[in-house]
A and B are shown apart, each in its own frame.
Chain A
């Protein structure tokens, strides 16, 4: 269980995180999404007691991280795969952590096996590891103390497609056995396959939050005609609102049947008519990563949707 309540972090004049609240329940994977610099890492560092919030609170397993007596046994943390001593071997890095947490030495070999670093790679110095291997070592570190909670910052960075697929399975299994997973990413596609819940953050504020089903569900109908202006007019005449879709398409705020009838009534031949899928979230997400695309407007729209 992870709880973040009204978390605000200010660095001088810069507001890194503003009034962020969400919670992650046992048995679920929460995808924490946002463009680079949105405040994801600051939030995760606050959850792990590495940064003191300006205001607001965070709690893991019901108490502030700093009050966990043996933190590694409650929470597995991977915030930066590069933050390991280059001169230590992978096995030694884990052995030190095992010593701190008081877990059996045999756990070191177990997690090495689990992340696919057993054998030769375990004896190599971390400085010689590829980014993918460091991510695997970081996951091994996080799993070492058999925690109930995992907090992972961009764990898929540097992993090959096979590695990403493997990690999804690992996190899904962890959550299915009652664990709580919070993982961040700047790529929607990376987490949508595994997350039960999505929290989208931009500019330090939460802009969308809800179950993946809800957020990725069909949120309208994608419709395309050769004459876009005529189509807009026909839909408006039928009282169906539209927003710009990908390319020259429109996202109509109504079921396909109503949209089709409206177009037929208006005499506009259609080229395409289908459920819009999760495109709105993706669209929102793309607009967030591209500040020129009117992030604020998209964000407002999304907030209305999630609060509705």
Chain B
């Protein structure tokens, strides 16, 4: 600290106009922010370890019919699906809890560009999470005949893979949307886990709310995607209404709030 120098800065330049950072650049920055802190790094590591743990347990202790690649895929996506939305929430809320929003939005005053970059990062992380879970599943399917006496089966449908990937992307984006709406890590994380569960319980016990269960309950309309079970047009319509409530609505409201709000 005492070595502070008075070395002159480069002279302030005349008013040339440096280009605005491209969206790709902002996406790189936002992606890097998810793993360059201790908390972010460990969270991502835990996601990967959880997928590996699930594979190991399933490989060593599950009954024989559970050893297919498709079944591994169904189970490895679960821990990823549980934890990745937290990464999505923190992607937004840490800017407020750590107050870095001030720096972020003074460097990029066009706030929508930053938010767009964060949503794209959410999509990328959802896809990366899917790939990580697929790799863990492949490892399980590969090692099953080597480490155990059971057989394995590599068959999986493209539809199943697509639904799993879509599910991961949608869930992390729900996390991002909760973060945008609430701008508080603990509040967003608690409500993200509690609200859908409450809706599931209420909608399944109160008979008059059967329409809520059928059209708005994540456990009913989204969870079957783990197994690639969405098939009819109505299934997809139910997914769409659920996504509109849990993802689109909070994201739009949060987006508007962030654009208008005072930072700092």
Contacts and interface: CB of A to CB of B under 8 A. Distances in A.
Contacts of B6: 166, 169-170, 173
A86 B40 CA distance: 12
Contacts of B19: 69-70, 102
Contacts of B103: 83-84, 97, 141
A115 interface: yes
A87 B12 contact: no
Contacts of A41: 264
Given A70-B21, A100-B25, A48 B11 contact: no
A82 interface: yes
A178 B10 CA distance: 11
Contact of B264 (A79, A117, A147): A79
A102 B25 contact: yes
Interface string B231-264: 0000000000000000000000000000010111
A163 B12 CA distance: 23
- Which of B26, B102, B110 gathers most chain A CB within 10 Å? B102
Nearest to B95: A85
Interface in B1-24: 1-15, 17-21
A116 B4 CA distance: 4
Given A80-B99, A85-B94, A102-B21, A49 B106 contact: yes
A209 to B, nearest CB: 24
A146 interface: yes
B28 A114 contact: no
Chain B, interface size category, equals 35 or more
A132 interface: yes
Contacts of B107: 71-72, 97, 100-101
B11 to A, nearest CB: 4
Interface in B79-111: 94, 98-103, 105-110
A304 to B, nearest CB: 35
A86 B94 CA distance: 10
A85 B29 CA distance: 14
A166 B5 CA distance: 8
Interface stretch (A60-68, A189-197, A265-273): A60-68
B99 A101 contact: no
Interface stretch (B31-39, B131-139, B160-168, B214-222): B31-39
Contacts of A116: 1-5
A100 B108 contact: yes
A146 B100 contact: no
B99 A83 contact: yes
Contact of A87 (B38, B101, B262): B38
Given A70-B20, A101-B21, A116-B2, A148 B98 contact: no
B221 to A, nearest CB: 36
A121 interface: yes
A95 to B, nearest CB: 8
Contact of B29 (A67, A75, A79, A100): A100
Nearest to B36: A92
Interface in A161-186: 162-163, 166, 169-170, 173-174, 177-179
Contacts of B17: 69-70
Given A72-B107, A85-B37, A133-B1, A50 B102 contact: yes
A96 B262 CA distance: 23
B106 A101 contact: no
A35 to B, nearest CB: 19
Contact of A96 (B10, B33, B101): B33
A125 interface: yes
A6 interface: no
Contact of B39 (A71, A87, A162): A87
Given A99-B32, A114-B5, A147-B12, 13 more contacts: A49-B106, A52-B262, A83-B103, A85-B37, A87-B40, A96-B29, A96-B36, A100-B21, A113-B7, A116-B4, A121-B1, A146-B10, A169-B6
13 contacts: A50-B106, A75-B106, A79-B264, A83-B103, A100-B29, A100-B107, A102-B18, A113-B5, A116-B3, A125-B38, A162-B2, A177-B11, A179-B12
Interface of A: 41, 45, 48-52, 61, 65-75, 77, 79-80, 82-88, 92, 96-97, 99-102, 113-118, 121, 125, 132-133, 136, 141, 143, 145-148, 162-163, 166, 169-170, 173-174, 177-179
